[in-house]
Amino acid sequence: MAHKFVIEQNKKGEYVAKFKYNSEIMFWTEGYTTKASAVNAIESIKKNGPGAPTEES
């Protein structure tokens, strides 16, 4: 699969959810104290992302 979500720990020991496409990081979340919170962030992106509007500044 060319795209996937990955949960990793940063240098502070926080859990960060990253979205990778062809091994390139496209975006990542803030750091969370628990892995469950990072999983919840991924589920929120999957649920709310497809219908989100695009804004230009």
What long-range pairs does 8-15 form, CB within 8 A, spacing at least 24?
Answer: none
HEC string of the chain? CCEEEEEEECCCCCEEEEEEECCEEEEECCCECCHHHHHHHHHHHHHHCCCCCCCCC
Q: pLDDT at residue 15 above 80?
A: yes
pLDDT band at 8 (very low <50, low <70, confident <90, very high): very high
pLDDT band at 47 (very low <50, low <70, confident <90, very high): very high
Q: pLDDT at residue 1 above 90?
A: no
